[in-house]
């Protein structure tokens, strides 16, 4: 039997067709999404149709994992009212601050929802909609997440929209600890009641396609990656893609009142405390473009410079930042001298900046009792030799890099296979290819000069 996994990310739709028993990939395709911080969901659907052509029709079951937090609002007829506001849209930062204050402060939010909402969270986008587009808010009958909407479309809109606890935990109106919606929070944000998707069990078949394929509950992209990697409790992952994330599977819910750690649920019934950054691989892409090179060229340049880039330090908050919560921040380059302004040092500073930002995220997990003994490094930037070799120097622990793969789509496919089987647990799928390990002597100078710049710029944005 065959199962399909869909990863509808910020940048593209990827589809994997896998054997249900062992996860072996028998087909795959991708289609791009437009760039930006909002998107008409219909464009995701078209990308899914293109990437899924010749693959989805062969699947006995389909699972969809997608970017978290995106606000999809539909009217009573099921029509999308406006383009979806995505996780990387920070226009709702003032609404996040207002909601936190209204509901009793960060501690109250952490206790209710496991997280303190930032501008990324759906609940803040609902408040922005109510304040800035009141007519659209008044028409809103139902609120969905990107994966909910795509699964609903795959079922030809014949079933009530459904979601899973993993993706629901990123909305700001769900309790991972109690496993239930908190509709009063959504209503307080939107200014009116709106329907929320039905919460499905991890291995539930929520609907079927017109062709008869089973549709699993789906999940968020980070939960999909954890499922695709087959993470065990306590294993720490750092993903460097469009966003940066550090997360681990946990047996108990998290409730970090500082707001640094989002207390998400995972896709299996457990929990997924996570720290997310807005600025990750794009920092490397922008730096490479500025230096007139590509990703491989940037890697070579970075490895030719010494640790610490001779005092050149980059704060990588190019598009505002979520962790730490600085939505109005910009990038800052510090320490320029007549001797250190080389291409090599700038490339090194960019790589170290991204890794230092994620090292801070690893420290945030440690504050919640999850200490990394090693880090599993995934994401597009994990292909960079410089990132692989500098990461253990910055993180201070060994780094393992599994074979590059579409782990989000693989996790969605694994969930589909689980739903198809009706078994008590997800099928055991071995990771394909070779896992590499990288070690290095920590260089405290790197994080020292990065931390000094980070702290000196508090209040700048």
Q: Annotated active-site positions, please?
A: 221
Taking phi first (over 0 means left), then psi (-120 to 50 degrees means alpha), and beta for anything else, what does residue 53 get?
Answer: beta
**What b/e sequence results for 332-356 when a residue is b if at least 16 CB atoms lie within 10 Å of its CB, and e otherwise?**
bbbbeeeebeebbbbbbbbbbbbbb
DSSP 6: E
Structural contact between residues 415 and 426, judged by C-beta atoms closer than 8 angstroms: yes
Rounded to whole angstroms, the Cα distance separating 390 from 410 reads 28
**Cis amide leading into 296 (omega within 30):** no
Rounded to whole angstroms, the Cα distance separating 122 from 12 reads 21
Which residue stretches of 160-220 are H helix?
165-168, 183-190
Query: How far from 214 is each of 4, 24, 61, 167, 210, CA to CA, in Å?
Result: 10, 19, 4, 20, 10
Report helix angle 146-154 to 41-52, nearest 10.
50
Rounded to whole angstroms, the Cα distance separating 193 from 440 reads 54
Which residues, including other chains, have CB under 8 Å from residue 56's CB and lie 6 or more apart?
A: 4, 15, 62, 154, 209, 213
Handedness of CA 240, 242, 248, 254 (dihedral sign): positive
DSSP 322: T
Rounded to whole angstroms, the Cα distance separating 407 from 307 reads 31
Rounded to whole angstroms, the Cα distance separating 380 from 412 reads 18
Which residue stretches of 368-442 are H helix?
385-395, 407-421
Q: Which two tokens stand for residue 320?
A: 């505002």
């Amino acid at each position: 039997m065959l199962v399909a996994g869909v990863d509808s990310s910020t940048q593209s739709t990827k589809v994997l067709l896998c054997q249900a028993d062992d996860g072996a990939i028998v087909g795959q395709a991708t289609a791009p999404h437009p760039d930006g911080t909002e998107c008409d969901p219909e464009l995701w659907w078209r990308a899914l149709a293109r990437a899924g052509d010749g693959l989805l029709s062969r699947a006995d079951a389909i699972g969809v994992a997608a970017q978290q937090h995106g606000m999809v609002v539909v009217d009573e007829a099921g029509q999308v009212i406006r383009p979806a506001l995505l996780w990387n849209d920070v226009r709702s930062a003032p609404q996040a601050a207002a909601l936190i204050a209204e509901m009793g402060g960060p501690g109250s939010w952490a206790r209710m929802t496991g997280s303190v909402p930032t501008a990324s969270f759906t609940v803040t986008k609902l408040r922005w909609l109510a304040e800035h587009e009141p007519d659209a808010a008044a028409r809103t009958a139902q609120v969905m997440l990107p994966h909910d909407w795509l699964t609903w479309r795959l079922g030809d809109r014949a079933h009530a929209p459904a979601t899973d606890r993993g993706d629901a935990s990123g909305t700001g109106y769900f309790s991972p600890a109690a496993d239930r919606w908190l509709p009063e929070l959504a209503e307080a944000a939107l200014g009116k009641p709106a329907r929320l998707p039905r919460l499905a069990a991890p291995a539930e078949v929520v609907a079927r396609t017109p062709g008869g394929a089973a549709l699993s509950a789906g999940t968020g992209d980070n939960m999909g990656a954890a499922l695709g990697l087959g993470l065990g409790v306590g294993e720490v992952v750092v993903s460097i893609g469009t966003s940066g994330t550090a997360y681990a599977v946990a047996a108990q819910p998290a409730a970090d009142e500082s707001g640094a750690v989002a207390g998400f649920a995972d896709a299996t019934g457990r929990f997924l405390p996570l720290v997310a950054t807005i600025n990750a691989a794009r920092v490397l892409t922008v730096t490479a473009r500025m230096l007139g090179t590509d990703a491989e060229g940037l890697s070579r340049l970075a490895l030719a410079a010494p640790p610490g880039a001779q005092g050149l330090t980059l704060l990588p908050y190019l598009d505002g930042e979520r962790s730490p919560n600085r939505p109005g921040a910009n990038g800052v380059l510090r320490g320029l001298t007549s001797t250190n302004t080389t291409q090599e040092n700038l490339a090194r500073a960019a790589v170290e900046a991204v890794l230092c930002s994620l090292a801070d995220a690893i420290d945030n997990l440690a504050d919640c009792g999850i200490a990394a003994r090693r880090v599993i490094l995934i994401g597009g930037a994990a292909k960079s030799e410089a990132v692989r070799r500098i990461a253990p120097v910055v993180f201070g622990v060994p780094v393992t890099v599994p074979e590059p793969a579409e782990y989000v789509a693989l996790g969605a496919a694994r969930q589909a296979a689980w739903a198809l089987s009706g078994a008590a647990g997800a099928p055991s799928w071995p990771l394909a290819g070779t896992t590499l390990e990288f070690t290095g002597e920590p260089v405290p100078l790197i994080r020292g000069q990065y931390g000094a710049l980070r702290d000196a710029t508090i209040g700048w944005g």
